Structure 1
Amino acid sequence: MAAAAARSKVVSTLRQLQAGAGSCPCHSHAHSHTPTASSFSSLLKYGRQYASGNESTDYAFEMAASNIRFGPGVTREIGMDLNNIKAKKVAVYTDSNIAKLHPLKAVIESLEQNKVNYVVYDTVRVEPTDTSFKSAIEFARQHNPDAFVAVGGGSVMDTCKAASLYSSHPEADFLDFVNAPIGKGLPIRKALKPLIAVPTTAGTGSETTGTAIFDYEPLHTKTGIAHRALKPYLGIVDPDNTRSMPAQVHASSGLDVLCHALESYTALPYNERSPRPADPILRPAYQGSNPISDVWSLHALRMVVKYLPRAYKDPEDLEAQQQMLLASTFAGIGFGNAGVHLCHGLSYPISGLNKNYHHPGYKVDHALVPHGVSVSLTSPSVFRFTAASCPDRHIDAAAAFGADPAHIKPTTAGDVLAEKLTAFLEELDVPNGLKGLGFDSSMIPQLVEGALPQERVTRLAPTRAPAAEQLAKIFENSMTNY
């Protein structure tokens, strides 16, 4: 009887959990497209159909993310982590600004206290290029470390990933692993050395993802390398490491989180993406929206809306800064498994074609459009364009900004979301559209030309890859936002 009572209690608990599944705080109103208990049965049915060979689209999704450790002061543990994995020689990557600040000092202090042998590469380029990647790769090949540490923002973490990848593949040509059609997009089949990422900005989420983005100088556009093997072994997410961020860096890095969340939540569903991989190693990291990434992405969006304006306006608001750091990691898990689409695809030529604009708050000696700024400037026009393909998801996003979903029609979802985004950008003092960076309509053909090769991400738009004429229209509508 005791066993029967125990079974009854378990069954009762499971029923309660099932009954509460539809009231997830991330998906609680009637417009949500997130699968419910009944629609999971449909997903399973579709999976069986795809597995039987009747469809060319994918039938499965994978969930992958780095180990994450979060807490104020947790950077002090990194030396112990490296001893625990028996690292004999560690390459520490950072940039010239972080090299002078608390985050790198905390890492070095921990390495020395724990008697970890290390070398430092402190000339990572902010917004890296193929040339700067190659310099970092050469350093790794010369020193042959058995572990890597990245201390910095997305530029540092991405550069360190590339150094780890190519030092493990000394025979590889640089374009072998770069995303097609610019590179060959070959899968990574060798095990890489462990990499510990210590983010110093609340934006890229690169501590959770298998992507490394850079400017490809011959084409004046961004591209990247994407594979789950690039994921850091561990992300050390320490709020103490973001306190030195200037206000404009808070804003621009937070805007990257915003677009990661929005784009991954509205991405093409994973079971509509094609082709279906012939081998699981060929399934892309950016696989389309799915039930797990949806939770992370929508929750991260709500956090950004609540905390980014506070973090930008008040450098002493430590709660907001800490929550934005968490939001960055959450969005990284979301987009690292679902992908991004048009805001990112269109941002790459914006950054690559910039010759003169230098964003305030960044201490660099070259023209610079921060990645978060470049992705955000087209966002109002992008989501006006994509809304017709999945209006309910755009209603969800507008609701995260405070709009009443009961008063949004499917036909107006894109306009409402775009208006909320425009007001949000203006509140953060973001340049007023592409003209604020020095672009004009005469440069639209070059911008389109730079966006067209970004198929890895543009094909994940819910509209699928737009034609050149549609991209041109989005760029034109993004010349001014308010």
Structure 2
Amino acid sequence: MAAGRDKVIHLLKQLQRASCRCPAHSHTYCQAPASQITTDYAFEMAMSNIRYGEGVTKEIGMDLQNMGARNVCVMTDKNLVQLPPVKAVLNSLTKNNINFSLYDSVRVEPTDKSFMDAIQFAKKETFDAYVAVGGGSVMDTCKAANLYACSPGAEFLDYVNAPIGKGKPVTVTLKPLIAVPTTSGTGSETTGIAIFDYEAMKAKTGIASRAIKPTLGLIDPEHTLHMPEGVVANSGFDVLCHALESYTAIPYNMRSPCPTNPINRPAYQGSNPISDVWSIHALRIVSKFLKRAVKNPDDREARFSMHLASTFAGIGFGNAGVHLCHGMSYPIAGLVKKYRAKDYNVDHPIVPHGLSVVLTSPAVFSFTAAMCPERHLEAAEILGADIQTAKLEDAGLILADTLRKFLFDLNVDDGLAAVGYTTADIPALVKGTLPQIFKIFNYLIIS
């Protein structure tokens, strides 16, 4: 156990030494001398207002009226624009005399280019509110469009996470944004996070700021009934890893350095007593309902429950953070060659985000268990393992085996080879992971 703990700590120290420390490019920067750097002493909970209920989408026009909105930007993608969720939104806007412009060119698994296309659309008119109807790709794109339309003088990389971008704090006031999620995975309706592929590096990065979180998330479970099996599974895997990673993220009072100003406290602050509640609750729902939701599209209880689980996990990880599964997932998705996931109607190769995250989960939690074995055993038990006679030193293997069985039951592609990678791709995958230092270093638990 001690050897494993030392191995992880050594990795973290190596990552800290390798990371950039200038004030524009690093979460580890602090103006205090090194001897005065201390861990944080506080955490802050931020989330969107949430409204849940069957058919609640029909209220969106009244919400925009109540906000005084006169000209609204609605964002979605080419597939969803023909489906009931978007039609329900547009009907409500029309019924309530809300003027709107529709942007339906959001890219599934967005890139910096697709973000900038949406930003240009948002800048063409003076919108006083935004509506995002879709999965995480749509909601994240709409957050970015709102941010940069309200910051016309900003360069694209100004708000992008370090070390790829400058990581500047958001100080402008954004327009109201209502998010209507149609998948059950990202939790983006609750968070101030927007993720995209940075094509120049073939790696994912993003923007993380409480300022860009939606004003309101309309959680309408009826929208889950149109999802095909593959989308339900992969979005559910994202919920699974959000819950596991945020529960095993570094505690907020062990993250360093302590910010010199509250505005510099990151959105991802480390595990904390409030996030823990949401993360564990989400994990229990995933354990009970994900397989049912995938295997039976008519199981309304399962699909509706997973829609809420996505939101619950979003509240948890949106304030605590994620770590290795997500850090390593970004090059897995970004370097995709020819793989096209089942049930995704797109015109480009794609490893869906949830799949790219979950593929490494058995190996990740086998490794991280040395840091907090009790939490890993607790997670394994929730997912169905018998831990009555389990030893703490076996926590990682137990959770890893439990995850493998869970994924096997859902016919998940077996490892990186199944999505087109070989041993020759390892250097590129490592290179694509290193920009995610802010996840790997700041949020892997040390206890």
TM-score normalized by structure 2?
0.91
1:130 to 108, 112, 120: 112
Aligned to 1:448: 430
Aligned to 2:384: 402
- Structure 1 stretches of 4+ moved >3 Å: none
Q: Answer yes or no: is the 8 Å Cα contact 1:296–1:334 preserved in 2.
A: yes
Deviation at 1:114, TM superposition (A): 0.3
Q: Does structure 1 residue 436 correspond to structure 2 residue 384? A: no
Aligned to 2:371: 389
Aligned to 1:231: 213
Q: Does structure 1 residue 272 correspond to structure 2 residue 262? A: no
Rounded Cα–Cα distance in structure 2 between residues aligned with 1:316 and 1:205: 23
Aligned to 1:4: none
Matched AA of 2:363: S
1:164-183 equivalences in 2 (<5 Å):
164-183=146-165
Aligned to 2:17: none
Deviation at 1:457, TM superposition (A): 1.1
Mean Cα deviation higher: 81-90 or 439-448: 439-448
Rounded Cα–Cα distance in structure 1 between residues aligned with 2:444 and 2:226: 38
Deviation at 1:408, TM superposition (A): 1.8
Rounded Cα–Cα distance in structure 2 between residues aligned with 1:54 and 1:182: 27
Rounded Cα–Cα distance in structure 2 between residues aligned with 1:55 and 1:131: 38
May I ask how many residue pairs the two structures share in their alignment? 412
What are the superposed Cα offsets for residues 172-210 of structure 1, whole Å, 9 maximum, x if unpaired?
Answer: 000000000000000000110000000000000000000
Q: CA RMSD in A?
A: 1.0
Of structures 1 and 2, the one with the larger relative CO (CA 8 A, separation 6+) is 2
Q: Answer yes or no: is the 8 Å Cα contact 1:227–1:285 preserved in 2.
A: yes
Q: Answer yes or no: is the 8 Å Cα contact 1:340–1:460 preserved in 2.
A: no
Rounded Cα–Cα distance in structure 1 between residues aligned with 2:337 and 2:445: 32
Rounded Cα–Cα distance in structure 2 between residues aligned with 1:340 and 1:255: 14
Partner SS, residue 98 of structure 2: coil
Rounded Cα–Cα distance in structure 2 between residues aligned with 1:54 and 1:226: 27
Aligned to 2:277: 295
Rounded Cα–Cα distance in structure 2 between residues aligned with 1:403 and 1:182: 40
Deviation at 1:268, TM superposition (A): 0.7
Aligned to 1:97: 79
What are the superposed Cα offsets for residues 376-410 of structure 1, whole Å, 9 maximum, x if unpaired?
Answer: 00000000010001111101111111223332211
1:233-248 equivalences in 2 (<5 Å):
233-248=215-230
Deviation at 1:462, TM superposition (A): 2.8
Aligned to 1:77: 59
Rounded Cα–Cα distance in structure 1 between residues aligned with 2:337 and 2:123: 32
Aligned to 1:417: 399
Rounded Cα–Cα distance in structure 2 between residues aligned with 1:113 and 1:459: 50
Deviation at 1:459, TM superposition (A): 1.6
Deviation at 1:458, TM superposition (A): 1.0
Q: Does structure 1 residue 63 correspond to structure 2 residue 52? A: no
Partner SS, residue 86 of structure 1: coil
Aligned to 1:283: 265
Aligned to 1:255: 237
Q: Answer yes or no: is the 8 Å Cα contact 1:390–1:462 preserved in 2.
A: no
Matched AA of 1:274: S
Partner SS, residue 59 of structure 1: coil
Structure index of larger Rg: 1
Aligned to 2:326: 344
- Identity percentage over the alignment? 63
Aligned to 2:345: 363
Rounded Cα–Cα distance in structure 1 between residues aligned with 2:442 and 2:298: 39
Partner SS, residue 405 of structure 2: helix
What are the superposed Cα offsets for residues 156-181 of structure 1, whole Å, 9 maximum, x if unpaired?
Answer: 00000000000000000000000000
Aligned to 1:332: 314
What are the superposed Cα offsets for residues 263-299 of structure 1, whole Å, 9 maximum, x if unpaired?
Answer: 0000011111111111101100100000000000011
Matched AA of 1:70: Y
Partner SS, residue 399 of structure 1: helix
Q: Does structure 1 residue 139 correspond to structure 2 residue 121? A: yes
Partner SS, residue 205 of structure 2: strand
Matched AA of 1:373: L
What are the superposed Cα offsets for residues 197-224 of structure 1, whole Å, 9 maximum, x if unpaired?
Answer: 0000000000000000000000000000
TM-score normalized by structure 1?
0.84
Deviation at 1:146, TM superposition (A): 0.6
Deviation at 1:143, TM superposition (A): 1.5
Q: Answer yes or no: is the 8 Å Cα contact 1:150–1:160 preserved in 2.
A: yes
Q: Answer yes or no: is the 8 Å Cα contact 1:386–1:461 preserved in 2.
A: no
Rounded Cα–Cα distance in structure 2 between residues aligned with 1:99 and 1:117: 17
Aligned to 2:300: 318
Partner SS, residue 76 of structure 1: helix
What are the superposed Cα offsets for residues 413-441 of structure 1, whole Å, 9 maximum, x if unpaired?
Answer: 00000001001111111110000001011
Q: Answer yes or no: is the 8 Å Cα contact 1:401–1:420 preserved in 2.
A: yes
Partner SS, residue 362 of structure 1: coil
Rounded Cα–Cα distance in structure 1 between residues aligned with 2:214 and 2:186: 14
Deviation at 1:54, TM superposition (A): 6.8
Aligned to 2:189: 207
In structure 2, the gaps of 5 or more residues are 1-34
Deviation at 1:460, TM superposition (A): 3.3
Aligned to 1:47: none
Partner SS, residue 91 of structure 1: strand
